[in-house]
């Protein structure tokens, strides 16, 4: 009887304790995070020892819970003219401001900006290749590079396709010319920040109509200015564009690099004739950019000059009796082709989480307002139609640019173009210096490519 009573008392006591616990604060749900913060970690159960000496147990480490909104740091590799190091003060401040705004609007993201050389050893493409092979952990999430490096970067698997990833509203708003610059093998791989190219300007007192053909230029009693030196040993944009306008290509039906000897001869013949008539001379080989020759045109010492879009937008108020046109082509039936240059943004990371953040950064850079602002600062051509229209308004010059963009081509970036560009430049220099005829220079160029 005594034992039964004690047993019933024990059961009643246990029930009372449980009831008391259940009555404290309603539900008995406990936040695991609070437990981790207030209680020491539980020790692992002590194993049954098979030896006489007890074995000390090691406590199980506490589980670290990472908040879902922890900061993610994106790395952006860029080039000097799209960074705080840009010579243009407004351009230098632009990227800093965009990144700061992006971080404010996305408090979970931080952006680390690193500036690389544009090309060559230690340039963006070179660093992408070496980092992937040696230290892939330092690769960026987003990169700004020259458009000419886009093909090899994509072919080498260094950048990702933007198809189906980049904000559809941006993709649909891209100008066709911008899509051509950013497309590799039919895929959108990079998006330009802006477009740069050349056209011609002419003195209306010397021409009754726009000198769009070689015959019109050659029959004039005036000078034709273009930067014949080129840049980095490659053929200048004027000669390259005239080669394209005359129907020339650099890839044969067999897929191998080629120089169209018929087309090149006709282009060089134009220069040869212009040289004999005093319309051009060897001093053009000292000029690398259209800006080098611009003061000569402004001084009224030439009737036609090649000019960059940026220089025209800067100095258009200085022009009194001038108008714009495309570069001179063989005949009126030929298409006037301009060569486009650009810096492009591309996606590097293949991690889905980082890609989402990286694409938001690219979208921020390419917002209508930011794209218009960037190109207003740099006097270049916006790549989004909404941005283009914002700057263009009803200005007829922008309507002229629209016609040029319809036929413009990106600077060549096929494998082996570096060699072709140098061979063409050498042929041009031979003719302008009077060292070879158009036919001789062409033959030398074709032979050089075949070696």
Rounded percentage of the chain residues whose pLDDT exceeds 90: 82
Pairing between strand 72-79 and 142-146? parallel
Instruction: Specify the pLDDT at position 80.
Output: 96
Give me the half-sphere count of Cα atoms (radius 13 Å) on the Cβ side of residue 156. 17
Are 202 and 325 spatial neighbours (Cβ–Cβ below 8 Å)? yes
Please give the radius of gyration of the chain, using alpha carbons only, rounded to the nearest integer.
33
The distance of Cα 333 from the centroid of its chain, to the nearest Å, equals 34
Q: Which helix (H) or strand (E) holds 114?
A: strand 109-116
Choose among 279, 265, 313: nearest CA to 211. Answer: 279
Instruction: Specify the pLDDT at position 292.
Output: 97
Query: 79 exposed, middle or buried (CB, 10 Å; 0-12, 13-18, 19+)?
Result: buried
Give the whole-angstrom CA distance, residue 181 versus residue 179. 5
Instruction: Specify the pLDDT at position 59.
Output: 41
pLDDT in tens, 256-297: 999 999 999 999 999 999 999 999 999 999 999 999 999 999
Instruction: Specify the pLDDT at position 320.
Output: 87
Instruction: Specify the pLDDT at position 50.
Output: 35
pLDDT in tens, 384-408: 999 999 999 999 999 999 999 999 9
Q: Going by C-beta distance under 8 Å and a sequence separation of 6 or more, which residues neighbour residue 92?
A: 83, 84, 85, 86
Distances (CA, A) of 185 to 91, 145, 244: 32, 18, 20
Instruction: Specify the pLDDT at position 328.
Output: 96
DSSP-based helix, strand, coil % in the chain, nearest 5: 45, 15, 35
How many Cβ atoms sit within 10 Å of the Cβ of residue 67? 8
How many Cβ atoms sit within 10 Å of the Cβ of residue 57? 11
DSSP 8-state symbol, 254: T
Supply the pTM of this predicted model: 0.83
Give me the half-sphere count of Cα atoms (radius 13 Å) on the Cβ side of residue 13. 6
Regions in the chain scoring below 70 on pLDDT:
1-70
Distances (CA, A) of 413 to 113, 228, 339: 27, 21, 12
Instruction: Specify the pLDDT at position 190.
Output: 98
Q: Enumerate domains of the chain plus CATH numbers.
A: 72-192+343-382 (3.40.190.10), 198-340+412-450 (3.40.190.10)
Instruction: Specify the pLDDT at position 233.
Output: 95
Give the whole-angstrom CA distance, residue 41 versus residue 35. 9
Phi-psi region of 144 (alpha: psi -120 to 50; beta: other; left: phi over 0): beta
How many Cβ atoms sit within 10 Å of the Cβ of residue 213? 16
Instruction: Specify the pLDDT at position 55.
Output: 35
Residue 35 has φ and ψ, to the nearest 5°, of -60, -45
Are 231 and 378 spatial neighbours (Cβ–Cβ below 8 Å)? no
Q: Going by C-beta distance under 8 Å and a sequence separation of 6 or more, which residues neighbour residue 29?
A: none
Give the whole-angstrom CA distance, residue 73 versus residue 87. 27
Give the whole-angstrom CA distance, residue 294 versus residue 343. 24
Give the whole-angstrom CA distance, residue 382 versus residue 402. 11
């Amino acid at each position: 009887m005594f034992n039964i009573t004690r047993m019933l008392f024990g059961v009643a006591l246990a029930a009372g304790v449980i009831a008391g616990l259940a009555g404290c604060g309603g539900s008995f749900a406990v936040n695991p995070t609070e437990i981790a913060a207030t209680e020491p970690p539980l020790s692992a159960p002590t194993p049954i020892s098979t030896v006489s000496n007890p074995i000390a147990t090691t406590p199980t480490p506490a589980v670290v819970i990472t908040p879902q909104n922890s900061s993610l740091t994106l790395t952006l590799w860029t080039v000097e003219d799209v960074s705080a190091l840009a010579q243009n003060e407004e351009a230098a401040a632009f990227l800093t401001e965009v990144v700061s705004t992006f971080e404010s609007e996305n408090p979970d993201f931080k952006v680390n900006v690193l500036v690389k050389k544009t090309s060559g050893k230690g340039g963006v493409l070179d660093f992408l290749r070496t980092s992937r092979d040696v230290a892939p952990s330092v690769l960026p999430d987003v990169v700004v590079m020259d458009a000419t490096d886009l093909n090899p970067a994509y072919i080498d698997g260094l950048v990702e396709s933007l198809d189906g990833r980049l904000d559809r509203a941006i993709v649909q708003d891209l100008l066709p010319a911008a899509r051509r610059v950013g497309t590799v093998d039919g895929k959108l791989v990079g998006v330009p920040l802006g477009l740069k190219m050349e056209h011609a300007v002419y003195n209306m007192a010397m021409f009754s109509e726009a000198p769009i053909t070689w015959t019109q230029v050659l029959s004039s009693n005036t000078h034709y200015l273009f930067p014949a030196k080129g840049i980095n040993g490659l053929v200048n944009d004027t000669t390259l564009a005239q080669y394209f306008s005359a129907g020339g290509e650099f890839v044969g039906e067999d897929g191998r690099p080629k120089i169209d000897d018929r087309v090149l001869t006709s282009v060089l013949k134009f220069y040869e004739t212009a040289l004999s008539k005093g319309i051009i001379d060897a001093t053009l080989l000292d000029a690398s950019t259209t800006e080098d020759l611009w003061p000569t045109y402004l001084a009224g010492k030439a009737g036609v000059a090649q000019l960059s879009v940026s220089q025209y937008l800067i100095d258009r108020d200085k022009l009194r009796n001038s108008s714009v046109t495309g570069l001179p082509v063989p005949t009126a039936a030929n298409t006037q082709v301009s060569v486009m240059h650009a810096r492009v943004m591309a996606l590097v990371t293949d991690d889905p989480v980082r890609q989402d953040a990286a694409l938001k950064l690219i979208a921020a850079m390419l917002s209508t307002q930011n794209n218009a602002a960037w190109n207003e600062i740099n006097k270049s051509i916006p790549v989004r139609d909404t941005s283009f229209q914002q700057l263009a308004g009803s200005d007829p010059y922008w309507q002229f640019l629209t016609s040029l963009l319809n036929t413009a081509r990106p600077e060549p970036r096929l494998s082996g173009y570096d060699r072709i560009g140098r061979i063409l430049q050498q042929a041009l220099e031979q003719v302008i210096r009077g060292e070879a005829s158009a036919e001789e220079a062409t033959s030398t160029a074709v032979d050089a490519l075949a070696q």
